[in-house]
């Protein structure tokens, strides 16, 4: 059975255009760096990272980290849990976190804290979409694709219960 298409919030071409702009901006900003170390946050960022990393014009390395959010009821301090760590040491590296979405901001906060403790030469973040009205903690995003309203979105890596990740556009999932 083929599911009905979802209402698009960001079309495939809008996303592609913005990803190219971000890649140009990042390439310019890191022109003096020998190499950039891109960290994709699994699983949602895998498509964004694939597209972004292939358009960056400076030398780069790729690694992944996997995190999960605890459900409601977890205390703030342990709202995020590490599922799979990086393979490589990031000491003295120019690290760029690549994340699909910032909602409450807790995942990004956790990542910034835990990666900065490992002594990178620099640490920045590149986020495809953020929901500013949902932020619960201060978030520092260096490169942002789009701001979106408080809706559940899927596609371009984003899921609901592991569905819809491979849609080429970002659509709104109703009744979540
Ligand atoms: P945080 O609340 O900023 O820590 O984000 C936690 C995680 O919730 C994100 O990395 C996503 O995996 C997930 N998430 C939040 N909002 C959405 C959405 O609209 N669609 C899909 N995943 C989402
Ligand atoms: Mg994520």
* Closest listed ligand to the CA of 153: 1
Q: What is the SS3 assignment for 72? A: coil
Looking at residue 2, its pLDDT comes to 59
Q: What's the pTM value of the predicted model, to 2 decimals? A: 0.94
Residue 81, both tokens: 């849990």
For residue 99, the ligand 1 atom closest to its alpha carbon is 10
List active site positions: 103
For residue 80, the ligand 1 atom closest to its alpha carbon is 4
* Cα distances (angstroms) measured from residue 79 to each of 24, 34, 118, 129: 34, 35, 21, 20
Looking at residue 5, its pLDDT comes to 76
| Residue from 9, 64, 103 to probe ligand 1 pocket by mutation (most atoms less than 8 Å from CB) | 103
Looking at residue 1, its pLDDT comes to 55
Looking at residue 12, its pLDDT comes to 98
- Report how far residue 40's alpha carbon sits from residue 27's, in angstroms, rounded to the nearest whole number: 17
10-31: pLDDT as tens digits: 999 999 999 999 999 999 999 9
Which residues form ligand 1's pocket by a CB distance below 6 Å? 44, 69, 101-107, 152-154, 158-159
Q: Are 140 and 173 in contact (CB under 8 A)?
A: no
- Report how far residue 104's alpha carbon sits from residue 51's, in angstroms, rounded to the nearest whole number: 25
Looking at residue 123, its pLDDT comes to 98
Looking at residue 167, its pLDDT comes to 97
pLDDT means per 10 residues, the chain with 176 residues, are 80 98 98 96 97 97 92 62 96 98 95 97 98 93 98 97 96 89
- Report how far residue 3's alpha carbon sits from residue 127's, in angstroms, rounded to the nearest whole number: 28
* Closest listed ligand to the CA of 108: 1
Q: Tell me how far the alpha carbon of residue 103 lies from the centroid of ligand 1, in angstroms.
A: 5
């Amino acid at each position: 059975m083929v599911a009905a298409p979802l209402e698009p919030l960001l079309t495939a071409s809008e996303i592609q255009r913005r990803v190219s702009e971000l890649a140009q901006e990042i390439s310019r900003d890191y022109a003096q760096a020998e190499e950039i170390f891109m960290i994709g946050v699994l699983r949602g960022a895998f498509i964004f990272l694939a597209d972004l990393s292939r358009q960056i014009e400076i030398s780069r390395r790729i690694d992944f980290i996997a995190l999960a959010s605890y459900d409601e009821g977890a205390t703030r301090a342990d709202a995020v849990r590490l599922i799979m760590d990086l393979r490589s040491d990031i000491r003295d590296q120019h690290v760029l976190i690549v994340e699909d979405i910032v909602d409450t901001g807790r995942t990004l906060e956790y990542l910034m804290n835990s990666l900065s403790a490992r002594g990178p030469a620099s640490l920045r973040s590149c986020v495809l979409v953020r929901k500013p009205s949902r932020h619960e903690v201060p978030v520092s995003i260096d490169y942002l694709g789009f701001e979106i309203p408080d809706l559940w979105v899927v596609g371009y890596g984003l899921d609901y219960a592991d569905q819809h990740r491979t849609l080429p556009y970002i659509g709104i999932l109703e009744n979540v």
